[in-house]
Amino acid sequence: MNIFLVGFMGAGKSSVGKKLSEEMNYNFIDTDSFIEKQTERRIEDFFDRGEEEIFREKEREFLQNFDSENTVISTGGGMACSMKNISLMKKKGTIVYLFITLKEAIKRTHFNRPLLKNRENIDSLFKKRLHFYKNAHIIIPVGKKTVEEVSKRIKALLCCITPEGG
């Protein structure tokens, strides 16, 4: 089984993913780090040069080529924001949405992400993305839960899921 963690920037996908992979004795992949290593470029660099589209292609490529098992994958906040990517993730595993409110996202990121630099658009970006994230098999409201608590909750809920990919 593979577990894709999705959600808005600041939801804790990377830290929860790492913890969950340890608890389940699974491999762990953070797609941002994967793409940075693969391309030898920083994520910010794609955005600074107006090359978000190239970054999105790299995300898509990652999903198309992904063929591991027993892996927790922490995705970048935009990876789930395409129905094609959602269907690829559903084919290859279970999608878990770590839900935080926009207020929490701002508090947790301090606007420190390329896409949060334009503060006026954040509200509409957040709303647009809910529409995609809600396709997840499991939704976890993060709230004030610790990384350990979120990870335990996911583990407990995973046993009720039969992923489409088998």
Give the residue, chosen from 32, 58, 73, 132, that forms a contact with ligand S3P under the rule CB under 6 A.
Answer: 32
Task: Select 69 or 107, whichever has its Cβ closest to ligand S3P.
Answer: 107
Q: Is 9 in the site for ligand S3P (CB under 6 A)?
A: yes
Burial class (CB in 10 A: 0-12, 13-18, 19+), 84: exposed
Q: Is 17 in the site for ligand S3P (CB under 6 A)?
A: no
Q: Is 77 in the site for ligand S3P (CB under 6 A)?
A: yes
Tell me the C-alpha distance between 15 and 69, whole Å. Answer: 20
C-alpha neighbours within 13 Å on the C-beta side of residue 19: 15
Query: Least distance from C-beta 59 to ligand S3P, angstroms?
Result: 8
Q: Is 16 in the site for ligand S3P (CB under 6 A)?
A: no
Phi and psi at 136, nearest 5°, equal -65, 155
Query: Least distance from C-beta 115 to ligand S3P, angstroms?
Result: 5
Query: Least distance from C-beta 38 to ligand S3P, angstroms?
Result: 14
Tell me the C-alpha distance between 154 and 130, whole Å. Answer: 19
Q: What strands, in cross-sheet order, belong to the sheet with 94-99?
A: 27-30, 71-74, 2-6, 94-99, 138-141
Q: Is 76 in the site for ligand S3P (CB under 6 A)?
A: yes
Look at phi and psi of residue 165 and say left if phi exceeds 0, alpha if psi is from -120 to 50, else beta. alpha
**Which range, of 21-29, 75-83, 140-148, 150-158, touches ligand S3P by CB under 6 A?**
75-83
Binding-site ranges for ligand S3P (CB under 6 A): 9, 13, 32, 43, 76-78, 113-115
